Amino acid sequence: MPDDKQQGLYRGLTHYGDIEFSRYLRRSFARSMGYSGEELNRPIIGIADSGSGFNNCHRHFPELIESVKRGVLAAGALPITFPTISLGEPFLHPTSMMFRNLMSMDVEEMVRAQPMDGVVLVGGCDKTVPAQLMGAFSAGRPAIQLVGGPMMTGRYEGERLGACTDCRRHWSNFRGGDLSVTQIEEIEGQLATTAGTCAVMGTASTMACIAEALGMMLPKSATIPAVHADRLRAAEATGRQAVWLAQQKLTPDQIVTEKSVENALRVLLAIGGSTNGLIHLTAMAGRLGIDISPQRLNALAETTPVLVNLKPSGTHYMEDFHAAGGLPAVMKQIKDLLHLDCLTVTGKTLGEELDGSRPWFDKNIVRERSDPVHEKGGLLALFGSLAPNGALIKCAAADERLFEHEGRAVVFDTLEDMAERLDSPDLDVRADDVLVLRNAGPRAAAMPESGYIPIPSKLALQGVRDMVRISDARMSGTAYGTVVLHISPEASLGGPLALVRDGDRIRLSVSAQRLDLLVDEDELARRRAQFESKAQKPSRGYEWLYQKHVLQAEHGCDFDFLRRCGVDTDSEETEK
């Protein structure tokens, strides 16, 4: 029996009223699984397994976890796998975002409740990585992230295909009449052909890069393809490192600081990352009492160029990015902008890790500072009369010709309304209009990835491929276009978005960082007096909990009772 009875198997004993009986009973039941007494006296490393038959991105996790176990055993500890909720992006109704916070609670409570000295978080698909890190940050146990890695590309008639930017591009072409039913079905079979997450810089790869930038993952492990042997070697090394972290009692709050969060923001901008990345990073940082200011994001964007030539902001894929040098190659290009004294899970500082990385990189994929993909960061926060608390646009994936635009509003009141009328031949819409979707925010609809409003079919058939589109919803990290998202306060809380009417003039100005509704205040006051929230009022279960406690986008859509940061929730309490 170890000297410290609060470690390993004896951490957090079950209450039976007799401590020695609790130890005796736990040993007895652990032995029923075939462990020897020697093994049960080792430190224990938990392995959070988010694999599921409803998550294609994670189908290679059994082999990956075996490699983690190998590393843990080699370092002298005992690996024990435990299941958590798994969030397969296209398999959840109404949206995976609703269940991110639930998964974070699952991870937090199971890490805290079960006897482990450290934990390896094995995730990948979009919401799983932020959920795992949010939970681990709150649990306060030594932790390290391992991702499943991106899938490889497929082929169609000589063209490389990668989920899911190419999904959207070809679907748009199909809606515009450029592809037949037979062609779109053939393309469908080649978009996602291996295990792993989306092959482009979508949310999954964005979050992997953010985790590495924060120092919570082994260097250069964010970009290794899922089916590459290096992915298994990284898993083994992660298992070894988890043991070291447990021995050092190095917890996430010692690694993730205001400085490392700023490093992560710089990386998010430099890689042309997903708009979802800002929501998730805000939620993760909030668990440790670190606030992220949209104004600070804009200030960083002014001096952080986009350097990664990847879809949806460029032309290449994640497998190319990895071969080009991976995230260390990007961070070395912006080294002077980073806080190099930040600690990482290796025990070394970020500066030490970058100094030890290979100097070579492919300049066609990871650009030099003197030859960026875009001179300024890929994301920009907007404010104005239509978004008092902020909104977000991914400039790197938008059409610059629409950056300064004024147009007539075409309003869809709900998701159902949009689905019913978008392709109607009677829809009064022109190419220079502004498409508006509301009541798709956190409270009203759990903030689905519906902000990428399809181009109405009557315009798509005319060759229109982009328009200004605004909403209180989110957008997939694989999507592109001139799309303004996360408008706050959302419409269901009575935000200005709820007051927009068909025919109103809306002005977008990227240069001024503004989104404005050009309607006089007297008219808005009349409309405000007639406002009725369209948010549903569930009576039970997790949906009730979610709607009652979810915060707005600028607070990461976390639950108010889980966020350590102080939050001014006056505007969010109106309907609660």
Q: What is the pLDDT of residues 411-445, one digit of tens each?
A: 999 999 999 999 999 999 999 999 999 999 999 99
The confidence score (pLDDT) of residue 567 equals 57
The architecture of the domain spanning 42-152+194-355 is 3-Layer(aba) Sandwich (3.40)
State residue 389 phi and psi, 5-degree precision.
-100, 5
- CA-nearest of 561, 547, 565 to 490 is 547
Sign of the CA dihedral 469, 472, 476, 478? positive
Residue 154 DSSP class: E
Q: Please compute the mean of the pLDDT values over residues 288-307 and round it to a whole number.
A: 96
Whole-number average pLDDT of the chain: 94
Contact in structure between 246 and 170 (CB atoms under 8 Å): no
The reported pLDDT for the residue numbered 82 is 98
What's the confidence (pLDDT) of residue 405?
A: 98
CA distance 409 to 420: 18
Q: For residue range 68-92, what is the model confidence (pLDDT) as tens digits?
A: 999 999 999 999 999 999 999 999 9
For 361, other C-beta atoms within 10 Å of its C-beta total 20
Where do you find CATH 3.50.30.80 in the chain?
A: 379-536
Secondary structure element (H or E) that encloses residue 121, with its range: strand 118-123
Looking at residue 430, its amino acid is: R
Helices (H), 380-490: 415-421, 442-445, 457-460
Q: Is the pLDDT of residue 556 over 90?
A: yes
pLDDT for residue 5 is more than 90 = no
Specify the pLDDT at position 2: 41
User: How many whole angstroms separate alpha carbon 493 and alpha carbon 65?
Assistant: 44
Provide the pairing of β-strand 483-488 with 505-509: unpaired
In whole angstroms, what is the distance from residue 375 CA to residue 111 CA? 42
Return the CATH class of domain 379-536.
alpha beta
DSSP codes joined into one string, 83-117: E-----GGGSSS-THHHHHHHHHHHHHHHHHS--S
What pLDDT, in 10s, does the model give residues 313-369?
889 999 999 999 999 999 999 999 999 999 999 999 999 999 999 999 999 999 999
Tokens 């490393």 map to which residue? 45
Residue 354 burial (10 A CB sphere; 0-12, 13-18, 19+): middle
Residues of the chain with CATH 3.40.50.2300: 42-152+194-355
Extended strands (E) in 358-458: 379-384, 387-394, 404-412, 434-437
pTM: 0.95
Rounded CA gap, 91 and 225, in Å?
Answer: 23
- Looking at residue 478, its pLDDT comes to 85
Provide φ and ψ at 208, rounded to 5°. Answer: -65, -45
Measured from the Cβ of residue 238, the count of other Cβ atoms closer than 10 Å reads 26
3-class DSSP assignment, residue 179: coil
Model confidence band, residue 4 (pLDDT cutoffs 50, 70, 90): low
pLDDT on residue 66: 98
Give pLDDT tens digits for 173-191: 898 899 999 999 999 999 9
Over residues 482-500, the mean pLDDT reads 98
For residue 250, which of 140, 171, 360 has the smallest C-alpha distance? 140
Beta bridge partners of 310: 316
From CA 398, how far away is CA 290, in angstroms rounded? 30
The tokens for 561 are: 């009772």
- pLDDT for 536 equals 81
Tell me the pLDDT tens digit for each residue of 221-259.
999 999 999 999 999 999 999 999 999 999 999 999 999
- What is the pLDDT at residue 477? 87
For 518-546, how does the pLDDT look when each residue is reduced to its tens digit (9 = 90+)? 999 999 999 999 999 988 888 899 999 99
The average pLDDT across 553-571 equals 80
